[in-house]
Structure 1
Amino acid sequence: MIRVDGRTLRCADVVTAARTGPLDIDVSIAALRAAEHAWKLADELSTRRVVYGRTTGVGANKDDTVAHSTEHGLRLLRSHAGGSGDPMPDGQVRAMMLIRLNQLLTGRSGISPELIGALADAVRTGALPLVHRLGSIGTGDLAPLAETALALTGERPWVTGHVPPVPVQAGDALAFMSSNAATLAEATLAAMRLNTLTRASHAVAALTYVALDGNPEAYATPVHEARPHAGQVACAAEMRRLLGMHHTPKPGRRVQDPFGLRAFPQVQGPALDAIHYLRDVLAVEINASTENPMISTVHGDAYHHAHFHTAYVSTALDQARATVHQVAELSVARLGDLVEPEFTGLRPFLAAGPPGSSGVMILEYVAHDALTELRQAALPATLGTAVVSRGIEDHASFSTQAARAATAACSAYQQVLACELVAAVRALRMREADLVDLPVRDAFEAASAVLDGSVDDRPLTGDIAAAVGILDRLARI
């Protein structure tokens, strides 16, 4: 059961929502009462002062006085429900709805209890509205959330299931749309996937280390105590754990390894730190009140602000993608070492057939192709901006695009890791390496159970797919 109270939603809960249709949620009664109090206050404030989006138009129409009415709210929803492109993936829609429900339960939106209840029912039953992918630039997911709201009112279609339609109350429209819940959903799913992949990469790198007879000095405690960045120290400690370096380990074959092994903690460390920071940012955002205006029952007033701007999210996503790209470069470099006889003592490309056999040669091509896709995905989304709504909204974070790029980065990075894993397992099999006393043996056995043991020249498509599929398990070893 997931507790939904506007304060304690976790990134892991968002992943659960994305994977599950009907969701067992416990909606806080106290939070519902606080939300109802804010709704009544917002309605009362709209009778005696200017409240953006309730007694005015929105965007450049902010100075247009309008009647505080249901008709105005419906016009706002209909005009903003102009999303386009492909439908948003089901998992992201489910995650978006859970995040939006949780945000509304912070009790500062001024939205009607009926609409909150309908959204909660949709989350519980697994009902999915038709939501389009395009329509956000990091200053509020207006189009996806307007489409969702209109589905709850019965005006737009459902892809799966449905809930009984509810009326839109005066002031509900902007209050429902004032959120980046769709962007946060994709960002959270990508962040958690990157977290899994970076944890799996320790096991993959450790297997390559054994296959190449790496030098343990690069991971030694005294080395990393001398420059104690948190992620770097954590990476070195994890490598020592996986490789059983509890005492003075035997020296490696080389005085110094190539950077793929030797600099792994120094390159992996920034990625671990960046993903940790990204998760911290998202943990704040999914429990934040972002509605503009904010209805404060404590102060009895409405506050106009810019919490819809998601610079924290976009910059954290850019940093995470950039650091993961560097880690992936090391993975490709280690793959190059694995096909080199000088490092393995085996035949070129880990071949085992007649002279001229190609072995795993194609893995380098696949890995570099995926790395290039990752490089494109790692380009900063925050270097541009947008000026919209007749110049009133003159900056955008593009967190939405940063989140999409993070999704693409996940897909590419797992392909890179899979290629290294296939080669490392083959090298270990061919060398008949002794892994009996090493914790990383569990990773070898898990991968060996799903990877074809044949060393004949053959298509490796299935091996790569199987390697991708085992990464989640390697992350837990």
Structure 2
Amino acid sequence: MDPTAPGPAPPPPAPEATRVVLNGTSLTVGELIALADGAAVPAVAPEARERAVRSWRTAQRLAAAGRLYGRGTGVGAHRAVTVDADDETAHGLRLLRSHAGGAGALLPARQIRAMLAIRVNQLLAGGSGIQPAFVDALIEALRLGVHPAVNEYGGIGTGDLTALAQTGLTLIGERPWLDSEVTTRRRREPGAHPDGADALLDGRSTAGLYDWLDNRRAGDRGTDPDGRPAAGAVGGGRGGPGAGSRTRPDLGVQVGEHPRVVDGPASRADDGRSGAPSRRSGGGGPATGPARGAEGRRGAPAPTSAGVPSDRLPAPVTLRPGDALALLSSNALALAQAALGRHALDVLLRATHAVAALSLAAVSGSPEAYAAPVHALRPYPGAARAAGEVRRLLGLPDRPSGPGRRIQDPYGFRAFPQVHGCALDAAERLREVVEVEINCPSENPLVAPDGTGAYHHGGFFAAPLGLALEAANLALLQTAQLSTARLTALGDPGLTGLTPFLAAGPASSSGTMILEYTAHSALAEVRACAAPASTGHAVLSRGLEEAASFAGQAARQTLRATDAYATVLACELVTAVRALRMHPARPRTAVLTVADAALPDGVDDRPLTQDVRAAAELLPTLAEL
């Protein structure tokens, strides 16, 4: 098998699918989100694949002329340990196995699909020296809707080693593929949680996978004294879902489900014979021979699965010298989580313009704080945009004729452009950083594009990403605090001219009082997520690696913060719409028309959970107004 040969022809895409061409240089966050959600199918630009072929050939030539880190040497503290040329492939397999030590809950399919798309695009940038067959296999996984099982914990912002090692073992056939189509379909159902059912998998979701791996290991007959596989085979079988899920009726999904485990076909070696790598946790090379049945293994039989036909799985790649470290040298998972977090942040920040505009109208707030001349004098792009969006949504003039009902409003209204503008600017900066990182090679060593050499460097240290994420998290906290301030103001009759807490009926009625508590509970989560992860410290690998960016932790904080902020904003939206419904003169704006039609009616004292849920589901619509 020639690793430089083009990959298998892709299956015909669904008629409605968008095509995203990956070329290693121009992937956008929007295109990445479409690939992660299964709304687009990937294609490879021919010139980009040829760039990857040249990089692979250059790495082969350089390795023949002298040692390359991680190929002719060990890694980390073992960088000075020489690897014999005839041991390089086995060394790579040991590297993947030893680094596949992630732990914690399995990550959602959406995050892993984004990771795969990023990694293949980075490989197409042409600095890795990996064999192009890995590019083909990653593309096939995206096309076919399968993904590797990846655990949450393992990366510290200096390369997502555990996640990509688990991915590498899946690509060579040593770990199972998981089927993402069920969760993708659920994400498309009306009312589904944005991250889909798989975002809610807890630690028990790993049980089915570990059962599968245990049974695979039980079918391995071991290795001979030299570390080579003994005669016999690695156990086959199909893994599958475990029992015991619980229902989240508020999100319309099942959680605690074991993932569907899909057993792939045997790896095909260059001579056409099966060559699936050994499933033992230790060293050794590929094993050949017929698979042993479940009855020949220790313990319980392999779990069953609905399964997927073998033509719905990527063909396993035969590992070659240098492939392992080339695959591992990336922050693709942290970047995937950052991109998804940035996408959610962008939607919520745009929706905030609409919600803040409704609140401003509900208190008859002063338009002077939003006047174009004010923001022309302090030309921060985000502040000018925030003020302009509120003016547009409420139909306010650029130059208001007077202060309105009050000379000055509370900060939640008066300082909104300045505070929210910082969040808009931080989100834009985060987009820029993500798009730089997903479109450039980060591998160590880096194969020079002109083929003249390989550079050992620290480009994988994700300081730019981590700091951009933390700036966004801190800015989001600031704008979330203003949302809760406006929510409190909406319950103040001195500002609205309405009843306290917008209550109806007896004077003791509570109205929307409890939403302040709910919003501040969610705000506390946003605040916790704003604590900079980069203040952490790590000294690893016998002191050789004495710092870390913790960009992956910052990315997970962004995902949690945006989820909590959606609740904060939904509480404000429910309250603002109620205030405007009670207002003697409702503004005639499209944003109020849309919100009024979508949210439940009634001002009696009643549980407001459904109102908040409806408001949260409405936020993406408001973001598009």
Do Structure 1 and Structure 2 share a fold, with TM-score over 0.5? yes
Q: 2:382 maps to what in 1?
A: 231
SS in 1 for 2:127: coil
The gaps in structure 1 that reach 5 residues or longer are none
Q: Are 1:64 and 2:85 matched, yes or no?
A: no
State the alpha-carbon separation in 2 of the partners of residues 288 and 17 from structure 1: 19
Match of 1:32 in 2: 49
SS at match of 1:159: strand
Provide the residue aligned with 2:613 in structure 1: 465
Amino acid at match of 2:42: I
1:92 and 2:244 equivalent?
no
Q: Which residue is equivalent to 2:545?
A: 393
Q: CA deviation at 1:297?
A: 3.9
Check whether the contact 1:211–1:433 (CA below 8 A) recurs between aligned residues: no
In the alignment, which residue of structure 2 is the partner of 1:426? Answer: 578
The root-mean-square deviation of aligned C-alpha atoms, in Å, is: 1.2
State the distance in 1 between where 2:409 and 2:561 align. Answer: 28
Structure 1 contact 335–420 (Cα < 8 Å) conserved: yes
* CA–CA separation in structure 2 for the residues paired with 1:267 and 1:130: 40
Q: Quick one: which amino acid aligns to residue 317 of structure 2?
A: V
SS of 2:347's equivalent in the other structure is: helix
Give the alignment of 1:43-442 within 5 angstroms.
Answer: 43-68=60-85, 69-160=88-179, 162-246=313-397, 248-249=400-401, 251-436=403-588, 441-442=589-590
- 2:178 partner SS: strand
Q: Which amino acid aligns with 2:129?
A: G
Matched pairs, number: 472
Instruction: After superposition, give the CA deviation of every residue in 1:255-291 in whole Å (9 maximum; x if it has no partner).
Output: 1101100010111111111111111001100111001
Q: Distance in 2 between the 1:377 and 1:228 partners?
A: 29
2-structure distance, mates of 1:320, 1:120: 31
- Are 1:85 and 1:132, in contact at CA under 8 Å, matched by a contact in 2? yes
Q: 1:11 aligns with which of 22, 29, 38?
A: 29
Q: Which has the higher contact order (CA 8 A, sep 6+)?
A: 1
- Deviation of 1:56 after TM superposition, in Å, equals 0.3
Q: 2:402 and 2:577 mapped to 1: Cα distance?
A: 22
39-48 vs 325-334, greater mean Cα deviation: 39-48
Name the SS for the 1:3 alignment partner.
Answer: strand
Distance 1:297 1:190 in 2: 32
* 1:445 and 2:593 matched: yes
1:450 deviates by 2.0
Structure 2: segments with no counterpart, 5+ residues: 1-18, 180-307
Contact 1:141 1:183 in 2 (8 A): yes
Helix, strand or coil for the counterpart of 2:24? coil
SS in 2 for 1:73: helix
Q: CA contact under 8 A between 1:331 and 1:417: conserved in structure 2?
A: yes
**Does the aligned pair in 2 maintain the 1:93–1:131 contact within 8 Å?**
yes
Checking the alignment, whether the CA contact within 8 Å between 1:6 and 1:106 is kept in structure 2 is: yes
Distance 1:169 1:276 in 2: 40
**Percent pairwise identity:** 51
TM-score, normalised by the number of residues in structure 1: 0.97
**2:540 partner letter:** V
Instruction: Give the counterpart letter for 1:426 in structure 2.
Output: R
Amino acid of the residue matched to residue 465 of structure 1? R
> Which runs of at least 4 in structure 1 moved beyond 6 Å after TM superposition?
none
| Distance in structure 1 (CA, Å) of the matches to 2:84 and 2:113 | 34
What is the DSSP-based 3-state SS (H/G/I as helix, E as strand, rest coil) of the residue aligned with 1:46? Answer: helix
Normalised by the size of structure 2, how large is the TM-score? Answer: 0.74
Distance 1:367 1:107 in 2: 48
| Contact in 2 for aligned 1:115/1:168 (Cα 8 Å) | no
The one of 42, 53, 63 aligned to 2:59: 42
C-alpha spacing 1:185/1:71, structure 2 compared with 1 (3 Å): same
| CA distances 1:289-322 after superposition (whole Å, capped 9, x unpaired) | 0010011140421111111100000001111110
Secondary structure of 1:24's partner? strand
- Equivalent-residue separation in structure 2 for 1:167 and 1:132 (angstroms): 24
Q: How far apart in 2 are the matches of 1:313 and 1:432?
A: 49
Q: In 1, are the aligned partners of 2:503 and 2:510 still within 8 Å (CA)? A: yes
> Deviation of residue 3 (structure 1)?
1.1
Instruction: Determine if contact 1:41/1:297 at 8 Å carries over to the other structure.
Output: no
Given candidates 470, 474, 477, the residue that maps to 2:622 is 474
* 8 Å Cα contact 2:159-2:328 kept in structure 1: yes
Q: What is the CA-CA distance between 1:345 and the residue it aligns to? A: 1.0
**Would you say the 8 A contact 1:17–1:95 is kept in 2?**
yes
- The 1:256/1:379 distance shift into structure 2, 3 A limit, reads same
SS in 2 for 1:449: helix
